């Protein structure tokens, strides 16, 4: 198994891009997949990852949502901007005869199918695998 450091910041936590946090990613040695990054990510909760990559003469941020997709590298490093979707609080089961009132009003907790990032109900939710093994991102690098 190979190891590499991934550098990240969470803008919602007032982290700064110039002073990123870091964690170790263990991977199979043939590229780093999103599932490898998520497995080593040190913060609790559910997150959406954007990875910095070189594009033409500059840099862009690539959203990677397929667990089996390789994440892009920038200058031989994994650099991620991370959006917290929720804190991952455990929900207590509610008996069927009691009206539900959840303190967590996020769309993910309420079962709403609207995509938090793009606002489309037809888009896959963060954390839900796509039905196929490849996506448009894989066509760029596969």
Residue 46 lies in a domain: yes
Given this model, what pLDDT does residue 141 score?
54
Residue 137 lies in a domain: no
Given this model, what pLDDT does residue 88 score?
79
Domain at 7, CATH number: 2.40.240.130
* Count of other CB atoms within 10 angstroms of residue 2: 12
Residue 140 lies in a domain: no
Given this model, what pLDDT does residue 52 score?
97
Residue 141 lies in a domain: no
Number of domains in the chain: 1
Residue 47 lies in a domain: yes
Grouped pLDDT means (10 residues each) for the chain, 142 residues: 93 92 91 95 95 94 95 95 83 48 42 45 46 54 54
Phi, psi of 39 (to 5 degrees): -65, -35
What is the distance between the alpha carbons of residues 47 and 74, in angstroms, rounded to a whole number? 20
Domain that holds residue 80: 2-132
């Amino acid at each position: 198994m190979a190891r590499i450091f991934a550098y990240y910041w969470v803008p919602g936590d007032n982290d700064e891009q110039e002073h990123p946090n870091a964690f170790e990613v263990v991977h199979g040695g043939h590229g780093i997949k999103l599932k490898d990054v998520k497995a080593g990510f040190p913060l609790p909760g559910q997150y959406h990852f954007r990875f910095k990559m070189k594009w033409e003469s500059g840099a862009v941020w690539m959203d990677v949502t397929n667990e089996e997709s390789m994440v892009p590298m920038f200058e031989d490093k994994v650099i991620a901007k991370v959006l917290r979707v929720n804190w991952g609080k455990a929900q207590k089961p509610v008996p069927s005869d009691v009206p539900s009132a959840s303190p967590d009003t996020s769309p993910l907790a309420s079962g709403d199918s609207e995509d938090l990032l793009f606002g489309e109900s037809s888009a896959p939710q963060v954390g839900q695998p796509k039905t196929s093994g490849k996506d448009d991102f894989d066509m760029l690098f596969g």
